[in-house]
Amino acid sequence: MNSADELPETVDLSNCDREPIHIPDAIQSHGCLLAYSTDELRLIGYSDNVTDWLESSPSFGEPLSSTFSDRFEAEVRNVLQGPKGIVRHVVCEPLPDAAWKMHSPPVAAVHAHDGRLLIELESPELRSPDVEILNSLPLRLNLANQRFQSTRTVEELYTTIADEVRDVSGYDRVMVYRFFEEGHGAVVGEAVGDRFERFLGLHYPATDIPQPARRLYLLNTVRSIADVEAEPVAIRCEAGSPPVDLSYSCFRAVSPIHVEYLKNMGVRASMSISIIDEAQLWGLIACHHYEPRTLSFQERAACEMLGLTAATYLTARERDHRNESLSQRRSKHASLMRDIAGAEHFNESLTEGSETLCNLVDADGVAICWRGGPILWGDTPEAAVVSEIAESYLKSNDGLSASESLVEDAGLESSLLNSSRGVLAVPLSAPDLRGLLFFRNEYLCEVHWAGNPEKAAEVREDGVRLSPRLSFEKWSEIVQDRSRQWSGVDLEVGEDIRGGMVELLGRRAAQLAKINAELTRLNDDLDSFAYAASHDLREPLRGLNHNVFLLNEEMAELPDDLKEVKQRCQSIGELSGRMDELVKGLLRLARAGRGDLELENLDLSTVVDDALIMIWESGQPDHIAVEIDDQTGPIKADYACLRELLSNLIANAAKYNDNEKVRITVRSHRDTNRRSEAGIPPVIIEVEDNGIGIASDHVDRIFQLFRRTHASDAYGGGTGAGLAIVKKIVQRHGGDIWVHSSPGAGSKFSMTLEASD
């Protein structure tokens, strides 16, 4: 495998992520390492260059005291008592002279880790500039502090940090490098000599700093490479002893991949200081030098202190900024929630609050996703696409989810999304409200990479090891199909919105339950009144009818000159008959609203057959054909109610029909576009005819009590109570009713029966 084109799928940049860089089995050549067991302080390993420091190679197993003084050993024992992983500088003198090659004793840094005590020795020559540094350090740090403090913007702070670190450390280039959430980073502040190219603003891919390195940056906050050209020195270990873990070491040899990376950049020596915020790697202060450069322990310590101070300023500044934005948004959120809570109509006030909601999370548009369909505000995709997004982003009850690229994450074509690209989903899972979807528009931005990040992978002969990038030539990329990232503050405010809405919805549900209970009571009262009134009225009416009938019979015998009286008597008879019809209609309506529903599984064709008998006791006329198309199986409903409902609709379908052949279809099917509260498609029942149809301006009125669209004697007469009864029955079953009709084209009455399962 010779070329990147032939990369197998399994080979990727995570190879670098698996490199065990904490156990390189070598150190950089400017230091010397001795490793002792922590329990007995016996030598278990040393760097190969130990004879540059001592007269002869020490032997494995020999005690610390054979190389170091008693005072040194006592200091070391102190280190062992203290917390692990802390590097302490210990004065080496006085040493047994014979063992050491150099005149003045070396400087030692000591730490314990992983069951080993590591002593790292540094040449005393490096000490010379220390005096100056150490003398001026307090003043230097104080000045840096003041300069950090006086910066007004965060950008100014980045540059000041770079300037100060460059001043103290003397590196050619110092960069403040910031990590982004996706892992890549950018140079946000820089101090560099005039003769060098500037890197400010350049982005570096996540793979440039692999995971093991990031892990080590959290443990060991300052790392330096004295000379990338210098050969590392191997560590020799006692037979059977595992390799020495150099996570905290000052001289840890650098991964060959990193050395090559630096060489490709033309860098000879480097140092980096970690910027850590709440145990997370915020970024680095990265220093490059184009000549070899070795820092003494003291110089490193000075840089580390400066880095720590800078990190404190940086993270504090960012936190202040974040807290300010959070508290501003929170107070706006609280006032919006108060407005909605105080409003008379929850749904309307929520819609009216759309713009404020968007401002709270810095979105360009919002979809309020009701179960019946979304209400959109601002820049959003079309309703159908929003519903599709809601399907995948609002189904979880777990909490918020966000995406910067619906194209990548939801696989949606950008042409379907209008200008939107990112979504922040706030699921609510209320019975009628699924949640809120906030949208962010596309954010086209040009990113300047230090070299093409795609070319980071190059497979070598062995086919596994990946080499670092060869080219750092500025490479610009236009980032498309993405929105700006949702920040931590956006997500936190999103959570607040969710909490606030859940509370409001809870309150609204309680209010609705109260109103419903009141309405039910009023309805019951009304039904009882209508029932009692119509029931009681029927008796005197029957008497009146009877008497009018007798009167008419007697009148027939009277002479013709009393014709007028006879006509009046006849008309009284007709009117009382009509009144009787109306009272009966009222009674039927009152009955439909009273009593408990007895829900049972009903077979549609059986109920239709019974309804037909109800309508045509003496047999269905030949010219009327009733077809049943049952696509759902049993329907859950109250038998008497369903029969009453069907008989009204079928009777109307036959009655309002001029055709020689009357065709009526009663159909049941499930509406897969809708969902009941139980999450299943509701049953739809349809009664369709080929009759005279209904003019569109009458459609709304026909369901009202005693509303007719024809003269009372046209089409066989009627009271106008039938459809009011039908509607009442449907509502009692928790459903809806609607009609599709036009004059001359027949009618189709459709209704849902939510009680079905």
Q: Could you tell me which residues come within 8 angstroms of residue 297 by beta carbon, excluding any fewer than 6 positions away?
A: 89, 107, 109, 122, 250
**Residue 465: DSSP 8-state:** P
Least separation, in Å, of the C-beta of 653 and ligand ADP?
A: 5
If the CB atoms of residues 294 and 747 are measured against ligand ADP, the closer one turns out to be 747
The yes or no reply on residue 584 touching ligand ADP (CB under 6 A) is: no
Long-range contacts of 349-353, Cβ-Cβ distance < 8 Å, separation of 24 or more: 351/375, 351/377
The yes or no reply on residue 691 touching ligand ADP (CB under 6 A) is: yes
**Residue 53: DSSP 8-state:** T
Q: How far apart are the first and last CA of the chain?
A: 61
If the CB atoms of residues 45 and 691 are measured against ligand ADP, the closer one turns out to be 691
634: cis peptide before it, omega within 30°? no
The yes or no reply on residue 172 touching ligand ADP (CB under 6 A) is: no
Three-state SS across 207-272?
HHCCHHHHHHHHHCCEEEECCCCCCCEEEEECCCCCCCCCCCCCCECCCHHHHHHHHHCCCCEEEE
The yes or no reply on residue 381 touching ligand ADP (CB under 6 A) is: no
If the CB atoms of residues 327 and 742 are measured against ligand ADP, the closer one turns out to be 742
Question: Cα–Cα distance between 505 and 429 in angstroms, integer?
Answer: 10
If the CB atoms of residues 485 and 709 are measured against ligand ADP, the closer one turns out to be 709
Q: Site residues for ligand ADP, window 344-373 (CB under 6 A)?
A: none
Site string for ligand ADP, 303-342 (x = CB under 6 A): ----------------------------------------
Least separation, in Å, of the C-beta of 368 and ligand ADP?
A: 36
Q: Using an 8 Å Cβ cutoff, are 672 and 699 in contact?
A: no
If the CB atoms of residues 270 and 741 are measured against ligand ADP, the closer one turns out to be 741
The yes or no reply on residue 720 touching ligand ADP (CB under 6 A) is: yes
The yes or no reply on residue 710 touching ligand ADP (CB under 6 A) is: yes
The yes or no reply on residue 376 touching ligand ADP (CB under 6 A) is: no
Interface with ligand ADP by CB under 6 A: which range of 334-342, 380-388, 614-622, 719-727? 719-727
Least separation, in Å, of the C-beta of 744 and ligand ADP?
A: 10
Q: For ligand ADP, which residue of 365, 494, 722, 735 counts as binding (CB under 6 A)?
A: 722
Least separation, in Å, of the C-beta of 689 and ligand ADP?
A: 5
If the CB atoms of residues 351 and 709 are measured against ligand ADP, the closer one turns out to be 709
Least separation, in Å, of the C-beta of 655 and ligand ADP?
A: 6
Beta bridge partners of 366: 377, 438
If the CB atoms of residues 22 and 727 are measured against ligand ADP, the closer one turns out to be 727
Interface with ligand ADP by CB under 6 A: which range of 73-81, 171-179, 480-488, 687-695? 687-695
The yes or no reply on residue 650 touching ligand ADP (CB under 6 A) is: no
Q: Could you tell me which residues come within 8 angstroms of residue 423 by beta carbon, excluding any fewer than 6 positions away?
A: 389, 393, 402, 403, 406, 410, 437, 438, 439, 440
Interface with ligand ADP by CB under 6 A: which range of 211-219, 530-538, 627-635, 651-659? 651-659
Q: Using an 8 Å Cβ cutoff, are 165 and 299 in contact?
A: no
Question: Phi then psi for 148, rounded to 5 degrees?
Answer: -60, -45
Q: Using an 8 Å Cβ cutoff, are 57 and 143 in contact?
A: no
The yes or no reply on residue 708 touching ligand ADP (CB under 6 A) is: yes
**Residue 637: DSSP 8-state:** E
Q: Site residues for ligand ADP, window 735-754 (CB under 6 A)?
A: 747
CA distances from 211 to 28, 249, 259, 520 (A): 22, 18, 17, 65
Q: Is the dihedral of CA 415, 455, 203, 10 positive or negative?
A: positive
- State both tokens at 412: 């949606």
Least separation, in Å, of the C-beta of 419 and ligand ADP?
A: 47
Question: Using CB under 6 A as the criterion, which residues of the chain lie in contact with ligand ADP when the complex forms?
Answer: 648, 652-653, 656, 689, 691-694, 702, 708-710, 718-724, 747
